[in-house]
C-alpha cells in the first residue's frame, strides 16, 4: 500500500508567526496561538492510499491489476481495473466517482443508508458511468462537450487493448506534445477528453503497479468483462466489482469496498486531500478497504474478533469463485445461507471467515450475470 503524505490545507492561506513580545505574557500568548494553529491543522493532514503494489504479476495466468487514481481534476477519483496476460492489456474497466446533486444523479449503493451520512451537504456520491446521461449533459453545458463521457472512456479503453504499458507511454508523450490546439482523437481515435493523456496514464499506472488479482489459466484473449457496483456487506460501504468471463465461467475478478473512516488511521482515496475530500463530514475520509488492509483488518479484529485479514478473506472468496458458473456459485450461496450459528463459512468456502461470505459471493454472481 502506497501512502503519500499530503496536506489538505497546504498553500491555501498564509501562516505567519505571531508577534513575539519581550515579556513572558506576550510569549505565552504567542505559544498558545501557535499551539491552537497546530491543533486546527492536525485534522487536515490526510494521507492517500491508492492500492499500489510491488508484487510480481503471474506469468501463466490471466490477472487483473486495480489502482485508485485521479485522472481528471481534483473533484473526483477513479477506480481503474486492467485485465492482463503477461504484459499485454486484454481489457480496461474505468469508473470515476464525484459528489454531485441528488436532484440530477443517482448515488452509489447505500447512498441512502449509513454510508450516505458522511456526504457533503446536499450532495450524493455518484458513479459517472452509472450516470452517463446526466454527467454527459453537465459536460456539454459547462464545457461544450460534443461526446458522452461513456463514449470517450470506451474509446480510450479500446485503444489500450492489445498494447503494453510501454507502448501506451509513447501515446501519452504524443498527446502531451500536441499543444493547446491539438486534438486528442488524432492520437486516440474517438477520444475527445482534454484529459485523454491523464486517463491513459491512469491505465498505465494500473497496469504497472495496481493491486494484483490472479485469475485462471486461459488462452482466451477476448474475455467478456464488466464492472458493477454492489453492497455486499451492510449499509456503511459500497463495492466495485469487476469480472472477466471465459465462456460462462469466471476467469478473473477484482473486488474492493469503500467506506468512510477516520483520517487518523486510514489513507483516503486520491483527491481526499483536495476538493473531493474538503467537505466530507466529521473529519472522515473515503477509503478503500483493500488499500488499507492492515488498518481495516485491525478494526475488524478489535470490533468483531476477526482472525483473518480483509484481503485474505476476499482472496479466498474470489479464488473459490474462479472457474465456476453463476449457477454453481448460486448453489454455494444457498448453502452458506443455510449454515447455523455455530457453523463457519470456511466449511463451504475454504479460507473465508467473513460472516457475509454469502453476500460477497452473491455480488460476484450478480456481476457474472450482468456480463453474460
List CB contacts of 341: < 8 A, sequence separation 6 or more. none
**Sheet of 224-230, strand order:** 224-230, 237-246, 249-262, 284-288
Q: State the Cα–Cα distance between residues 246 and 250, nearest whole angstrom.
A: 6
Alpha-carbon distance 19 to 40, whole Å? 20
Res 221: pLDDT: 96
pLDDT of residue 43: 39
pLDDT of res. 9 = 38
Residue 213 φ then ψ, to 5°: -120, 110
Name the DSSP class of 131: T
pLDDT at 181: 86
pLDDT at 6: 38
SS3 call for 50: coil
Note down pLDDT in tens along the chain; length 372 residues.
Answer: 444 433 333 333 333 333 333 333 333 444 444 443 333 323 358 999 999 999 999 999 999 999 999 999 999 999 999 999 999 999 999 999 999 999 999 999 999 999 999 999 999 999 999 999 999 999 999 999 999 999 999 999 999 999 999 999 999 999 999 988 899 999 999 999 999 999 999 999 999 999 999 999 999 999 999 999 999 999 999 999 999 999 999 999 999 999 999 999 999 999 999 999 999 998 899 999 999 999 999 999 999 898 899 999 999 999 999 999 999 999 999 999 999 999 999 999 999 999 999 999 999 999 999 999
CA gap 261, 252 in Å, rounded: 29
Query: Per DSSP, which regions of the chain are E strands?
Result: 3-7, 45-49, 62-69, 76-85, 88-100, 124-127, 211-214, 224-230, 237-246, 249-262, 284-288
Q: Would you state the pLDDT for residue 371? A: 98
Residue recorded with cell 460472516: 355
Distance of CA 28 to the CA centre of its chain: 47
Amino acid at each position: 500500500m502506497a501512502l503519500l503524505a499530503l496536506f489538505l490545507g497546504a498553500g491555501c492561506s498564509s501562516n505567519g508567526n505571531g508577534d513575539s513580545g519581550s515579556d513572558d505574557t506576550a510569549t505565552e500568548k504567542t505559544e498558545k496561538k501557535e499551539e491552537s494553529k497546530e491543533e486546527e491543522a492536525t485534522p487536515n493532514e490526510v494521507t492517500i492510499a491508492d492500492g499500489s503494489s510491488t508484487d510480481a504479476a503471474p506469468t501463466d495466468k490471466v490477472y487483473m491489476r486495480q489502482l485508485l487514481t485521479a485522472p481528471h481534476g481534483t473533484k473526483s477519483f477513479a477506480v481503474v481495473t486492467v485485465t492482463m496476460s503477461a504484459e499485454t492489456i486484454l481489457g480496461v474497466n474505468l469508473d470515476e466517482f464525484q459528489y454531485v446533486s441528488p436532484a440530477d444523479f443517482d448515488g452509489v449503493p447505500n447512498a441512502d443508508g449509513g454510508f450516505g451520512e458522511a456526504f457533503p451537504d446536499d450532495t450524493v456520491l455518484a458513479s459517472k458511468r452509472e450516470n452517463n446521461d446526466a454527467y454527459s449533459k453537465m459536460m456539454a453545458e459547462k464545457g461544450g462537450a460534443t461526446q458522452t463521457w461513456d463514449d470517450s472512456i470506451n474509446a480510450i479503453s479500446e485503444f489500450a487493448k492489445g498494447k503494453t504499458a510501454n507502448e501506451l507511454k509513447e501515446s501519452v508523450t504524443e498527446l502531451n506534445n500536441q499543444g493547446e490546439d491539438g486534438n486528442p482523437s488524432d492520437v486516440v481515435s474517438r477520444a475527445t477528453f482534454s484529459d485523454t493523456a491523464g486517463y491513459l496514464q491512469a491505465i498505465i499506472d494500473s497496469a504497472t503497479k495496481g493491486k494484483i488479482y490472479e485469475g485462471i489459466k486461459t488462452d482466451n484473449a477476448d474475455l467478456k468483462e464488466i464492472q458493477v457496483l454492489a453492497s455486499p456487506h451492510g449499509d456503511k460501504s459500497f463495492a466495485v466489482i469487476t469480472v472477466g468471463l471465459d465462456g460462462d465461467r469466471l476467469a478473473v475478478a477484482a473486488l474492493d469496498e469503500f467506506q468512510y473512516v477516520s483520517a487518523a488511521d486510514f489513507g483516503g482515496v486520491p483527491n481526499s486531500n483536495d476538493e473531493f475530500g474538503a467537505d466530507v463530514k466529521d473529519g472522515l475520509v473515503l477509503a478503500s478497504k483493500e488499500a488499507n488492509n492492515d488498518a481495516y483488518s485491525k478494526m475488524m479484529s478489535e470490533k468483531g474478533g476477526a482472525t483473518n485479514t480483509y484481503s485474505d478473506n476476499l482472496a479466498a472468496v474470489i479464488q473459490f469463485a474462479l472457474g465456476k458458473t453463476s449457477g454453481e456459485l448460486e448453489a454455494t450461496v444457498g448453502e452458506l445461507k443455510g449454515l447455523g450459528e455455530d457453523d463457519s463459512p470456511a466449511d463451504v468456502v475454504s479460507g473465508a471467515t467473513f460472516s457475509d461470505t454469502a453476500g460477497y459471493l452473491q455480488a460476484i454472481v450478480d456481476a457474472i450475470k450482468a456480463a453474460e
